[in-house]
Amino acid sequence: MPILGYIATAVVAYLLGSIPTGFLVAKARGIDIRTVGSGNIGATNAFRILGKGQGLLVLFGDASKGWIAVQLAAPLLAQMFAGAPENYLRITAGVSAILGHNYTCWLGFKGGKGIATTAGVLLALVPWALLIILGVWSLLILLTRYVSVASIAASSVLPFATWFTTSHDIGLTAVTGAMASLAICKHRCNIQRLLDGTEHRIRFKKKEVAP
């Protein structure tokens, strides 16, 4: 039955997304990442606390969860549950993976903001839209040095980028709009810190000039 395919896809993708990559990588170094920096288990806090190498590991791991759920798990489950359209299962998998990351059952349903996992999902679903919002994100990082500002701006652009790169696909535009809304909602604390003037900026190291 198709409904069983949707349920199975949602559960499998949620569990994939719920793997707390940042928490596990930090724990391997004896650090509870929830108690340092911003307290977030995502890649931005991992870069800040653990350094570039392990920050990249967390970024790649979080993005991979979303991509695997959509690109590998959903097609496999579509074969197992005949009658469930693969394209809808892929969308179900993407949304479920993001929810798994944001509300992981392994950490009391408190997770990250879902930006990297969303990027992995978008890479599988709407790669051209992802390319556009990565451009927006990169530009805002350079101009403001606020990861939160770049992420919020990129999320805001996402549904419009989806609309123009998928021949006006209303379904995908609605889904990516929901993803964008969730991402912005997860940045509530960052928005408050921006208003208070206490949000962290990233620092671009300058090469030291020899005397």
Give SS3 for 111.
Answer: coil
Q: Supply 109's token pair.
A: 């349903």
What is the predicted pLDDT for the residue at 203? Answer: 78
What is the predicted pLDDT for the residue at 102? Answer: 97
What is the predicted pLDDT for the residue at 209? Answer: 41
pLDDT, averaged in runs of 10, over the chain (211 residues): 89 98 97 95 94 96 98 94 89 97 97 96 98 98 95 97 96 96 95 94 61 43
CA-to-CA distance for 148 and 196, rounded, in angstroms?
Answer: 14
CA-CA-CA-CA torsion sign (127, 58, 12, 179): negative
What is the predicted pLDDT for the residue at 82? Answer: 80
Closest CA to 86 of 74, 68, 71: 74
CB distance 101 to 62 below 8 Å: yes
Give SS3 for 86.
Answer: helix
What is the predicted pLDDT for the residue at 204? Answer: 67
What is the predicted pLDDT for the residue at 84? Answer: 81
Give SS3 for 115.
Answer: helix
Q: What are the sequence ranges of the domains in the chain?
A: 1-113, 126-202
